[in-house]
Amino acid sequence: MPGYIMPEPDDMGPDAAASVELRAEVQYDHGNHRWRWSSAGELVPSMREAARTPRDLQVMLTVYGRIAARLLEKDKLVLRARVTAHWLPTGGTAIGSYDWYRSAETGRLIPAQEPWTLWPGTMR
């Protein structure tokens, strides 16, 4: 999101933590190759955590992403999955994502890339 400035939380002092919700989603073919993301909340419940640093957020996405991928790969219809981090004070603005895809060689969900994150006040 080039040019987007994440708002600063009012209480974001040096010891404050951003309240973050992590969610898992899967991509399904809804017929005629109309792929869309759907919540995977029934298999992988969302999780709320406090992140004090950008590194905390990166670690949360990595760990939750690996857990979600292991749970979701059991469903062979899941070809792509992702976990997203949402900053709760703004009503759910996405501040991070970690995408996974099913490997043709192993049949397992593997990372599509490294997780990306935005930290409040750092993206300009």
Cβ contact 10:18 at 8 Å: no
Q: How many CB atoms lie within 10 A of CB 63?
A: 15
Cβ contact 72:83 at 8 Å: no
For 71, which DSSP code?
H
Q: Is the pLDDT of residue 105 over 80?
A: yes
Tens of pLDDT, residues 4-31? 334 444 444 445 567 899 999 998 766 6
Cβ contact 37:84 at 8 Å: no
Per-residue pLDDT at 122: 61
Per-residue pLDDT at 121: 65
Q: Is the pLDDT of residue 89 over 60?
A: yes
Q: Which residues is 37 bridged to in the sheet?
A: 27
Q: Is the pLDDT of residue 37 over 80?
A: yes
Mean pLDDT, the chain, rounded, equals 81
Q: Is the pLDDT of residue 72 over 70?
A: yes
Q: How much of the chain, in percent, has pLDDT values that exceed 70?
A: 75
Q: Is the pLDDT of residue 93 over 70?
A: no
